[in-house]
Amino acid sequence: MNGRGLARILMGYALTLFFACLALHRYTSLRAIEPAERRTIASRWVNGRRVARTIMQPGEGSACTSPDPEGTWVCETVIAEGPLSFDAARFALALVPARDGVMAELGGVRAFATPDDLVAAQAYDSATSLLDPSLGIGTHRAVVLQLLATDLGVSVASVEREARVKRVRFHSATGPEAPLPTKVTGRDLTPAVVRQAMHAAASHLARGVDATGRFRYLVDATTNRDRVSYNWPRHAGTTYFLAQAAALTDDSALRFACLRAASLLRAERMKPCGSNACIADGDDADVGSSALALIAFSEIVRTGADASYRPAIIELAQFLRSQQRADGELMHLFNRTSGTRADVQFLYSTGEAALGLARAHRITGDAKDLDAATRALSYAVGPGWSFFGSRYYMSEEHWTCQAMSELWDRAPNREALAFCLRWHEIQRTLQFAEGESAFDADGSFSFGPLLTPRVTPTSSRGEAAAAALDVMMRDPNAGTLSARARAEAILSLEDELDRALAFVVRRQIRHESRHLFAAPEDALGALPASVVDMQLRIDYAQHAGSMMARWLELPLRAH
C-alpha cells in the first residue's frame, strides 16, 4: 500500500471516530433544568425500605422539612435530563452511578428510579462482573425495569415496550434530622477527624465479632444479610487492625473483640504443618494466612494486650522460615497430608511474610527471623522483578512497602525504598484529582472513568504511602535523593496519602445514609466497597482502618 492509500484509510478512520463520538455525545448529553422548573421526589424510608413517595411539582413545599420520628424523608431533585433507551447494548453504561436515575411515563403517570432506589436495590455496578465477582460494572437493566413497573402498577413488558423514558440526574438531600456533612478534603484532615473515623470503623468490626471470635465476614448492608463465605487471611488481617485501634484508643471493647478473634485463630486454626505449626483450613496451608496471623499476634504482644501469644509467634515464624527458598522467595503452599511444599506464588503473600517475620523479630529477638524477613524483602524488590517489561508493570505492593518500613531501623534496604517510591509515582498517575471524574473521586485510584472508585485499593495504597513517608520523615539520610528531591518526594507522598484518606473518610457509612440500611446501627462506621456497592466485607474496614492508624502514628507534621 502506498502512502496516499494509507492516508485515506487513516482519514476515513478519523472521520468515522469523529462522527461516532459526536453521536454518542448527543445521545448521552444532559439538558440542565432551571431551578424554577425542577421536580423533587420525596421518599420516606424505614429500615432500608421505601414505604412512601411523593412527586412534587416545581414550587411545592417539601415533605423533607418535617421531622419523622420513625423513618427518614429524603428529597431527590431532578436537575438535568437526557435521552435514554432500554436497549440492552446501550443501557448498561448509560447512567452515572449514584448521580443518575430513570424516569418512565406511561398513560400519563410518571415513575422514577432514583439513585437511592438503585443503591437500595444494588442495581449499579451489577450488570456484569470484571475479573472478580465482587467487581462489577454497568446498571442492571432488569432491576430498573422492575422498580419502574412496580411504581407504575404495570408489567415489566409494558414498561419495556410502551413507556417513554429519560435519563435524569439528581441532587439529593436528607431531612433536617440528618444534615449532609461538609465534604472532607485532604486539607481538612486532623488527628481528631482521623481518630474518630478509625474508631468508628473498628467499632463496626467489633460489633460483628460473635462469642466464638468469628466476624460477620460479608454483609449486604441494605438487607443486613450475611453472605455464606469466610476467609481466614482476612480474619487475621482484621484482627491485626483491631489490635492497632485498641492500642491507639485504649478501648476495652475493641481489645476484647480483638482477643476473641485472635483466640479463634490460635485455638482452632493453628494446625501441625510437618514439624511446625501453621494456620490452616484443610490440607493445603497457604503462607498468607500464617503471615497475617503472625502480624496480628505480634501486634497483640507488642501493644501489651496479651503476652501469651509469644509462643504462637515463634511457631508461625518457624513455619514461614521453613517455606523460604535459598534466594529469599517463599513457597506459598504446604500440604499437611503429604508434608510437601508447593513452589507456587500468590499475590500479596511474600510481602505479608516479610512484614510478619519483621514484626516477629521484635518479639522473639531471633536473628533468623530478621534474616528471613530481609531476604524476602530483597527478593520481592529485586529478582522478583527481573523479567522482560518489568519497568512497565506494577503489582500490588502495599505489604512490600510496609515490610520495607518495618525493617528500616534494623536492616535498611535502599533498593526497597527506591522501589516503593517508584511504585507510588506510578500509583499517583492513577489517582483522581478534583473534577477529573463524574464521581466524587478526588483521592481515589482507578483504571478508567467507567469504574466506580473502590475503597479498598485506595486504602491499601494509603497504607503503603504512610509506610514510605514514615521512613522518609524519620531518616534524613534515607535513600539516595538530593535534599530537594527528598523534600519533593515527601510532599508528593503527603498529598497522595491525605487525599486518599479523605476519600475513604467520605465513603464511611454515617448517619446521613442510614435510611438505606435494614439495620442502620449495625452499618454505622463500616466501609462499603464503593459509593454504590453496599457490600461490607471485613477487609474493606481493615485496610481503611490500618491506613488511618498509620497516618496517626506518623511523625508530627502540619496538616
Answer yes or no: are the C-beta atoms of 41 and 114 closer than 8 Å. Answer: yes
Answer yes or no: are the C-beta atoms of 317 and 357 closer than 8 Å. Answer: yes
| Helices marked H in 303-333 | 310-322
The predicted-structure confidence for 350-363, as pLDDT tens digits, reads as follows 999 999 999 999 99
Query: What residues form DSSP beta bridges with 129?
Result: 136
Least confidently predicted of 19-33, 215-229, 267-281: 19-33
288-309: average pLDDT: 98
pLDDT the model gives residue 129: 75
pLDDT the model gives residue 451: 81
Percent of the chain scored above 90 by pLDDT? 73
What's the CA gap between 389 and 126, in Å, rounded? Answer: 34
Residue 175 has pLDDT above 80, yes or no: no
CA 135 to chain centroid, in Å, comes to: 11
278-296: average pLDDT: 96
pLDDT the model gives residue 180: 38
The grid coordinates of residue 331 equal: 513457597
What's the CA gap between 460 and 540, in Å, rounded? Answer: 9
pLDDT the model gives residue 178: 37
197-222: average pLDDT: 97
Neighbours of 80 (CB within 10 A): 17
What's the CA gap between 138 and 40, in Å, rounded? Answer: 26
Helix (H, G, I), strand (E, B) or coil at 307: helix
pLDDT range class, residue 122, cuts 50, 70, 90: very high
pLDDT range class, residue 133, cuts 50, 70, 90: low
Helix (H, G, I), strand (E, B) or coil at 100: strand
Residue 396 has pLDDT above 90, yes or no: no
Residue 65 has pLDDT above 80, yes or no: no
Answer yes or no: are the C-beta atoms of 287 and 348 closer than 8 Å. Answer: no
311 contact partners, CB below 8 Å, separation of at least 6:
none
Cα distances (angstroms) measured from residue 510 to each of 199, 204, 225, 527: 13, 11, 19, 10
pLDDT the model gives residue 21: 44
What's the CA gap between 181 and 167, in Å, rounded? Answer: 27
Answer yes or no: are the C-beta atoms of 215 and 261 closer than 8 Å. Answer: yes
Percent of the chain scored above 70 by pLDDT? 89
pLDDT range class, residue 136, cuts 50, 70, 90: confident
Domain 186-553, CATH among 2.40.128.30, 1.50.10.10, 3.20.10.10, 2.40.50.140: 1.50.10.10
pTM of the model as a whole: 0.89
Answer yes or no: are the C-beta atoms of 534 and 222 closer than 8 Å. Answer: yes
pLDDT range class, residue 377, cuts 50, 70, 90: very high
297-316: average pLDDT: 98
What's the CA gap between 171 and 9, in Å, rounded? Answer: 45
Residue 450: name the closest of 77, 70, 35, 136 by CA.
Answer: 136
pLDDT range class, residue 436, cuts 50, 70, 90: confident
What's the CA gap between 275 and 128, in Å, rounded? Answer: 46
Domain ranges within the chain, ordered by starting residue: 29-174, 186-553
Residue 79: name the closest of 168, 167, 165 by CA.
Answer: 168
pLDDT range class, residue 24, cuts 50, 70, 90: very low
What's the CA gap between 239 and 261, in Å, rounded? Answer: 6
| Residue 189 φ/ψ region, left for φ over 0, alpha for ψ in the -120 to 50 degree band, beta for the rest | beta
Neighbours of 175 (CB within 10 A): 22
